[in-house]
Every structure is written in structure tokens, then in C-alpha cells.
Amino acid sequence: MLRPLEPQIHEVERQIGKRIILRGIKTPDPNMRGRISSRPGYLLLEYRDETAGYFWDCDIIRELLELVRQGHRDCVVYN
């Protein structure tokens, strides 16, 4: 069974021709929501992951994917 965001992730990977790696992060900055980092051969999408097992982070992942679609490759998203 596919996780809820997998089809969107695969679509963006096909569009940009690179693999996307998702990683939940903990950060002391309460305003930082996520970031995109271009790495050789893939894009790293890191999202603030504060509550294990709860899917509030799906919104920020969708936002990061949309930024990638728009051409962003290195950026940080704040509240």
C-alpha cells in the first residue's frame, strides 16, 4: 500500500529527473517548517517532525514538493 504522499513524490521525481529523499528533523527554531537542499543526484526535503505518528507534517511536505515543482532547489520555509 502506498503512503499518502508517495504518488505526489514520484510525480515530482519524474518531473525533475532526480530522486527525492524525505527526512523529519527536530530544530530549536520554532518558526522553521522545512528546507530543500540540492545534493548530487537527489533533493533532500527536510520537514519539522515534532509529533511521532501524527500526520500534521503532510502539509509542509506538500508545500516543499510544490516549491520543487516551481524550481526551488535550496531554500528554507518559515512560518
Sequence-ordered list of residues with C-beta below 8 angstroms from that of 40, at least 6 positions apart, any chain: none
Range of the domain at 39: 6-78
Split into its structural domains, the chain has a count of: 1
Which DSSP state fits 5? T
For residue 31, give the C-alpha cell: 518558526
- Report whether pLDDT(15) > 90: yes
Write the CATH number for 55: 3.30.160
Within a domain: 45 = yes
Residue 41 lies in a domain: yes
Residue 12 or residue 51, greater confidence: 12
Residue 20 domain-assigned?
Answer: yes
Residue 1 lies in a domain: no
Confidence tier at 1 by pLDDT (50, 70, 90): very low
Tell me what pLDDT residue 52 has. Answer: 61
Sheet bearing 42-48, strands edge to edge: 19-25, 42-48, 32-39, 75-78
Cβ neighbours of residue 10 under 8 Å, at least 6 residues apart? Answer: none
What pLDDT digit, counting tens, does each position of 28-79 carry? 998 999 999 999 999 999 999 876 665 667 889 999 999 999 999 999 999 9
